[in-house]
Chain A
Amino acid sequence: MTVPPPDALRARPRTASGTRGRTGPGRGERAVERRLAFWLLLPTLVALGLIVAYPVTRAVVRSVFDDPIRGDPDFVGFANYAEALWGFERVEFWNAFANTVLFTVVTVTIETLLGLAMALVMHRAFRGRGIVRVAVLLPWALPTAVSAVMWGWMLQPDGVVNALLGTDIVWGGSEWPAKWSIIFAEVWKTSPFVALLILAGLQTIPPHLYEAAAIDGASAWKRFTSITLPLVKPALVVAVLFRTLDALRMYDLPQILTGGANNTDTLSMLVVQAATSELRQGYGGALSTITFLFVFLCAFLLIRTIGANVFAGFGGEGGARR
């Protein structure tokens, strides 16, 4: 049996578009509002320009110069990019690239499923719900560096993880144990974030939809797939988008947990290593520009494919679209 799209659902976008359709304010009034909007936004734009546009531009400009030990850098065109993409550093670069993609795909997938489950649990009314919410959110409240150090201790050869599993694995001693420990710690830490966003989405679903569906005899699974999932999708997409962009820039966790040993370098780790440790700002700038473009491309593709309705907002047009 299919649950017919309830009236309330239809009503929402109608009100939203109704606002748009209504005869708006007069032209002069709108121009005044626009000007006001511009002046209100100006401080934000200036701040963004200073803290985003300027450093990004500087890094891009710096990336076409070389890194002499003494003297001024010379213009070298795209040599730094070539060095990373197919030059001497290509093995290191493509390994880091593959690791970054692997960590992102695996962690975001697990986090989304886990986060959804956590959110559904947190959303239910039961005794001790407050405690469950706090427990679930605690990992997210810990700074990543702290959780990395904590996992580092637990994953030591004589640590608690091996004791609990009854194993003798040296987690930092070979490639896949090291990669799994990073994935595990990352999922542990950031699933609560996904859960939080999805929980916010769940709370916007009007309870009477479920009541109506239950009266119509829809099973719990049917209610989940036909009401919960479509209505929570905008929140879910935002969560996936945020997490993907975040995971693509992963730095602190692998840096502290493995230091890049056992082929666990990520792109951001290479950037920091080149720019601040090896003082090669030109090459580091090229790496950061490549990373930036890659993250940007991923964001663009994600929004294009799954998140066309993200910017319509919660409960807006996107909420009802099937």
Chain B
Amino acid sequence: MATSGPGPGPWARRLALVVAGAVFATSGCAGSLPGEDADAVVTFAVTRASGGDMGAIIGHFNEANPDARVRVVYLAAAADAQRNALVQDLQARTGRYDVLYTDAVWTAEFAARGWLEPLDRERFAGPGILPAAAATGTYGGELYAAPFATGTGMLYYRSDLIDDPPTTWAELIAACPLAEEHGMDCYAGQFARYEGLTVNATEAIASAGGRIIDEDGGVAVDSPEARAGLGFLVDGFEQGYIPRAALTYMEDEARLAFQRGDLLFMRNWAFAWPAMEEPGPESRVQGRFDAVPLPGHEGPGTGTLGGNNLALSAYSGNKAEALRFIEFVQSEAVQRRWMAETNTPTSWQANYEDEELMAAAPHLVPQRRALDAVQPRPVSPRYNDVTNAVQKHVHAALSGEKTVDEAVADLQEELEWAVRDT
């Protein structure tokens, strides 16, 4: 019966060799900072996922500024992993990273912990910068991060089926029988339990005139407005104008459903546009969709802000040089180039009036309009506690485990606990 004698057979030995090989291969990868530029005085920590050619921008800067050479460190593509890397550096106070490419929602947390150097508002958030973008870099009235990339949610709709896009939720719901006629679902956003759910919940609540956390840092989610906002989403799942599958949607899942032709309306960021216009069998909606600012409860809705800013580490040893670099990256010319390369919105206002640029990226026109009615996500030094609580209770309400009233009351209680010491 048993054929193998004592000791490992040839098969087991082969396995052991493979395992040993794998161990060696991975241990060989453990390295230090990429030190291509030994003369660099400023280190720029940026995500790999930005889409544009950051290397070329840095190359230009280094040519013009031999005394303030910048080297780039690419962090993980996922925002959470990127934040972990920055937080570790900041907690250890190494000053290894001078300029940080930060997410809009990290400003309050990093600033409250004293990790960021306050910036001169005149220099980094002057009149040329979109006020909405500047708001994401501000905490406690002080500017801590120079606005760079920005963006807000838009309502994508099928322009081949709809002539007048809805400006209110009632109009959107009224258009849903049309979706049914065409065998499509009506509306979807990002409702999986992750950061995107906080974005969608904030927008729904703000579009009904509510807030999760008010200007003074007080929790304000237990309000009729917030109930109405959350109610729009919860009713959607109950009445079927939002498909249940959307409970697992992130940005790409929603976009794929829309470009397959399965959705009449979709909430998404500007990035979705070029992907859906791309010729090929992947998308069935080229030239058959358009985007407008989000609809709201009793009038136009309110988007929330995404985007990335440039912050200066409080532990940086080369602040003057780092500030020069931030100024360069934020300048109109660089932002124009970035916008042309990535087709994503940036913070420099004048670029939206550039006809050539807008012709190449027509979706930035409605995006610019949408950026006029925005509210940031909850601003709190305990942002991660806040967003975890929002995701938990909103997802429970959307999946039908809780009523809107229960979810709002529980969320109020948990948020008050989360921000009790801020």
Binding site for B on A (CB under 8 A): 68-70, 88, 123-125, 130, 133, 137, 156-158, 170-175, 202-205, 207, 210, 258-263, 273, 276-280
In the complex, 8 of the A-B residue pairs with CB atoms within 8 angstroms, ordered by the A residue number, are A123-B2, A157-B248, A170-B245, A170-B247, A173-B248, A262-B399, A263-B401, A277-B384
- If the complex has contacts A123-B2, A170-B248, A207-B2, are A70 and B385 also in contact, measured as CB distance less than 8 A? no
Q: With the chains together, A202 CA to B4 CA distance in Å?
A: 10
- When the two chains form their complex, are residues A130 and B11 in contact, meaning their CB atoms are under 8 A apart? yes
B87-A261 in contact (CB<8A): no
B92 to chain A, nearest CB (A): 13
A156 adjacent to B3 (CB under 8 Å): no
Could you tell me if A172 and B248 are in contact, using CB atoms closer than 8 angstroms? yes
List of B residues within 8 angstroms of A137 by Cβ = 15
Q: How far is the CB of A60 from chain B (nearest CB, A)?
A: 20
A210–B1 CA distance with the chains assembled, in angstroms = 8
Q: Is B421 an interface residue when CB atoms closer than 8 A count as contact? A: yes
B17 an interface residue at 8 Å Cβ cutoff? no
Q: Kindly identify which residue among A70, A170, A175, A261 contacts B114, using a CB–CB cutoff of 8 Å.
A: A70
- Say yes or no for B400: interface residue by CB 8 A criterion: yes
Closest to A158 in B: B245
Q: Which residue of A88, A173, A203, A276 contacts B2 across the interface (Cβ within 8 Å)?
A: A203
Whether a CB of chain A sits under 8 angstroms from the CB of B381 is yes
Given contacts A70-B113, A259-B192, contact A172 B1 (CB under 8 A): no
A170 touches B244 (CB 8 A): yes
Q: For B262, give the chain A residue with the smallest CB separation.
A: A158
- List of A residues within 8 angstroms of B395 by Cβ: 261-262
Residues in chain A near residue B391, CB distance under 8 A: 261
Chain B neighbourhood of A173, CB < 8 A: 244-245, 247-248, 399
Known pairs A125-B3, A261-B192, A278-B382; A175 contacts B80 (CB<8 A): no
For chain A, what secondary structure do more than half of its interface residues adopt (helix, strand, loop), or is it mixed? loop
Contact residues on B (Cβ < 8 Å of other chain), bracket: 35 or more
Q: Give residues 1-45 of B contacting A (CB, 8 Å).
A: 1-4, 6, 11, 15
Q: Which residues of A contact B1 (CB under 8 A)?
A: 123-125, 207, 210
Q: Is the CB of A205 within 8 A of B2?
A: yes
Cα distance A257–B352 in the bound complex, in angstroms: 40
> Number of contacts between A and B (CB, 8 Å)?
83
- Within B81-96, the residues touching A (CB, 8 Å) are 84, 87
Closest residue of chain B to A258 (Cβ to Cβ) is B193
Q: Which residue of chain B is the closest to A152 with respect to CB atoms?
A: B248
Contact pick for B421, options A68, A174, A175, A204, CB 8 Å: A68
When C-beta atoms are compared, the residue in chain A nearest to B380 turns out to be A69
Q: How far is the CA of A124 from the CA of B400 in the complex (A)?
A: 50
Tell whether A88 pairs with B193 under 8 Å between CB atoms, given A156-B248, A170-B247, A203-B2: no
Q: Output the least CB separation between A180 and chain B (Å).
A: 15
Cβ of B117 to closest chain A Cβ, rounded Å:
15
Q: Is the CB of B399 within 8 A of A174?
A: yes
Of A69, A210, A258, the residue contacting B112 (CB under 8 A) is A69
In the A-B complex, list the 8 residue pairs whose CB atoms are closest, starting with the nearest.
A261-B193, A157-B245, A172-B248, A173-B247, A170-B244, A278-B384, A259-B193, A207-B2
A161 to chain B, nearest CB (A): 13
A259 near B194 with CB under 8 A, answer yes
Residues of B within 8 A of A258 (CB): 193
Contacts of B192 in A (CB 8 A): 172, 259, 261
Not counting A133-B11, A157-B243, A210-B1, a sample of 11 additional A-B residue pairs whose C-beta atoms are within 8 angstroms of each other reads: A69-B112, A69-B113, A157-B244, A158-B245, A170-B244, A172-B248, A203-B4, A259-B194, A263-B401, A276-B87, A278-B385
- B239-269 vs A: 1/0 string, CB under 8 Å? 0000111011000010000000000000000
- Chain B: minimal CB distance from A225 (Å): 16
Which residue among B2, B4, B113 has the maximum number of chain A CB atoms within 10 Å of its CB?
A: B2
Residues of B within 8 A of A130 (CB): 11
Residue of A nearest to B418 (CB): A278
> Which A residues are in CB contact (< 8 Å) with B331?
none
Least Cβ distance of A139 to chain B in Å?
A: 15
How many angstroms between the C-alpha atoms of A261 and B384 in the bound complex?
16
Q: Which of A123, A174, A279 contacts B384 (CB 8 A)?
A: A279
B19 to chain A, nearest CB (A): 9
**A280 cross-chain contacts in B, Cβ below 8 A:** 385
The docked-state distance in angstroms from the alpha carbon of A263 to that of B396 is 9
User: Which A residues are CB-close (under 8 A) to B401?
Assistant: 174-175, 262-263
CA distance A280 to B109 in the complex (A): 13
Residue of B nearest to A210 (CB): B1
Residues 372-413 (chain B) with a chain A CB within 8 angstroms: 381-382, 384-385, 388, 391-392, 395, 399-401
Report the separation of the CA atoms of residues A305 and B422 in the bound assembly, to the nearest whole angstrom: 49
Q: What's the Cα separation between A68 and B113 when bound, in Å?
A: 9
The interface residues of chain B lying within 8 Å CB-to-CB of A259 are 192-194
Q: List the B side residues contacting A207 at CB < 8 Å.
A: 1-2
In the complex, A30 Cα to B80 Cα: how many Å?
56
Residue of A nearest to B3 (CB): A125
Q: How far is the CB of B407 from chain A (nearest CB, A)?
A: 14
CB B168 to nearest CB in A, in angstroms, measures 28
| Distance (whole angstroms) from the CB of A131 to the closest CB of chain B | 11
What separation, in Å, do the CA atoms of A203 and B3 have in the docked complex?
8
User: Which residues on A sit within 8 Å (CB–CB) of B384?
Assistant: 277-279
The chain B residue sitting closest to A130, CB to CB, is B11
- Do A279 and B193 have beta carbons less than 8 Å apart? no
> Once the chains are docked, how many angstroms separate the CA of A108 from the CA of B113?
43
